[in-house]
Amino acid sequence: MKYPYLMFCILFFPILSYGQKEYILFDSTATVGIKLIDNGEQKNSMFCQVKKRDSIITYSPYDLQEYGFNKGPVYVSRDIQKAGSSKKVFLECLQRGKTTLYYYKGDNIQTFFIENDNAQLVELPKRNSQNVDYSKQLLNITKDCSNVADACELSRYSKKSLSKLIERYNNCELKPFPHFRYGVIAGYEFSRVIFSNDENLIEFFSYLDYFDNTRDGSFSSGIFIDNPILASDFSLHVELLFAKHRYSYSHSSENNNFNLVSNNTKINVPVLVRYSYPSNTIRPFINTGLSGSYLIKRETSLYEPAIESNISANKTSLNSLIDQYMLGYVFGAGLEYKLNFRNSLFFELRYVHQYGLSNPGSAQLVGLNLLTGISF
């Protein structure tokens, strides 16, 4: 039974590796370039259907050794033990090697199976009959490779995560394992206002461009989540930050002195795609994405010399100068330092450029942020 299967792998592996064609494998023969019908995970585990002209041929796990879709899943016929009895089903092959990982979806059940190089098939339930968690079961299965011990603790009970783990185990690789993280973040923002060239605004206040709009420094703090994308070194990184800014600009001429003061309190939500280099202790990373802000408080006032002798200055409200809703782009780079298998400390330098969302003619906010945080 094993020899035809071995010959099939030797003869057809190059074809399946470079643009896999749909195929079915019998005990002694293989048919390649057919049209398979994808009936979904559960039905695919029960039978295989081949469309041939105007008819459909159905095969059971007793008829085939294996079948595979074009650039899609591969199903292998195996005997499994469920509910105290043995039955033959098609298992979806997720990762092949000295240890092979399979996935099975049946009636009210989703589980994984692991097959070692001795062809011993063992189920990997989320919790076994002794109430042992799958991560502890994985530690026992992979105990001959200590490099993946941390990965067993961090893995999720999902196709992508367990496939990545078994791939690492087959190569006994010591690399950071992608996993969901959350934590706290703090930083210092150097921000300034870029005044708009909107005609209506310039007509009202024609000397905006003459203000010495230097950067304002302010602390920020918040929380973040970081979720791997398809169990890769890319992740979706989302933050919720709180910050206060006080911008104070002035303009002096021979006849007049003007001051512009803006006090803003904002909630900022950067949504970033992050790439982290898979080194073990210190991981460089880069990220980029969008950043939206909501100004809880925005008080902008212009102070100019008063004509009346009993008033020191005239105050004009310019709250519309900075929009309440801001949206823009960000990009940054930094380093992440591994504290232990789960926690890490990171430092980042980030550039932020935001525009008024509801009023395109309003001012822009440009900043350079120094950030640090810790993940849990």
What average pLDDT does range 260-279 have in this prediction?
A: 95
- 171 and 185 in a single domain? The answer is no
What is the model's pLDDT at position 120? Answer: 86
Residue 119 included in any domain: no
pLDDT band at 305 (very low <50, low <70, confident <90, very high): low
pLDDT band at 18 (very low <50, low <70, confident <90, very high): very low
* Per-residue pLDDT tens over the stretch 105-130: 998 899 999 998 877 899 999 999 99
- 78 and 163 in a single domain? The answer is no
- 215 and 337 in a single domain? The answer is yes
182 touches 226 (CB < 8 A):
yes
Closest CA to 78 of 109, 122, 34, 18: 122
Range of the domain at 141: 125-175
- 238 and 322 in a single domain? The answer is yes
What is the model's pLDDT at position 204? Answer: 46
What average pLDDT does range 76-87 have in this prediction?
A: 88
Which CATH number goes with the domain that contains 208?
A: 2.40.160.20
Q: Which of 134-138, 149-153, 247-251 has the lowest mean pLDDT?
A: 247-251
Residue 161: both structure tokens together: 């995560």
Higher-confidence residue of 319 and 215: namely 319
What is the model's pLDDT at position 201? Answer: 52
- 159 and 193 in a single domain? The answer is no
- 192 and 302 in a single domain? The answer is yes
- 263 and 317 in a single domain? The answer is yes
What is the model's pLDDT at position 203? Answer: 46
Residue 118 included in any domain: no
What is the model's pLDDT at position 21? Answer: 87
- 37 and 134 in a single domain? The answer is no
- pTM value? 0.83
Q: What are the DSSP calls for 127-156, one per residue?
A: B-TT--BHHHHHHHHTTT-GGGHHHHHH--
pLDDT band at 319 (very low <50, low <70, confident <90, very high): confident
- 191 and 229 in a single domain? The answer is yes
Domain tally, the chain: 3
CA–chain centroid gap for 108, Å, is: 29
- 338 and 190 in a single domain? The answer is yes
Residue 26: both structure tokens together: 């019998």
Q: What are the DSSP calls for 207-224, one per residue?
A: TGGGS--PPEEEEEEEEE
Helix (H, G, I), strand (E, B) or coil at 316: strand
pLDDT band at 2 (very low <50, low <70, confident <90, very high): very low
* Per-residue pLDDT tens over the stretch 344-376: 999 999 999 999 998 877 889 999 999 999 998
Residue 180: both structure tokens together: 């969901």
Provide the 10 A C-beta neighbour count for residue 232. Answer: 13
What is the model's pLDDT at position 308? Answer: 55
* Per-residue pLDDT tens over the stretch 38-61: 999 999 999 999 999 889 999 999
Q: What are the DSSP calls for 9-38, one per residue?
A: HHHHHHHHHTTPPPEEE-SS-EEES-EEE-
Closest CA to 166 of 97, 90, 68, 71: 97
Mean pLDDT, rounded, of the chain: 88
* Percent of all residues in the chain with a pLDDT value above 90, rounded to a whole number: 70
Residue 117 included in any domain: no
What average pLDDT does range 219-226 have in this prediction?
A: 98
The set of long-range contacts for 118-123, using a CB threshold of 8 Å and a minimum separation of 24, is: 121/78, 121/79, 121/80, 123/80, 123/81
Residue 224 included in any domain: yes
3-state secondary structure 45-96: CCCEEEEECCEEEEECCCCCCEEECCCCCEEEEEEEEECCEEEEEEEEEEEC
- Within 8 A by CB and 6+ apart from 198, the residues are 361, 362
d(CA 355, CA 194): 10
What is the model's pLDDT at position 20? Answer: 65
Closest CA to 178 of 133, 124, 226: 226
- Within 8 A by CB and 6+ apart from 327, the residues are 290, 291, 292, 293, 354, 355, 357
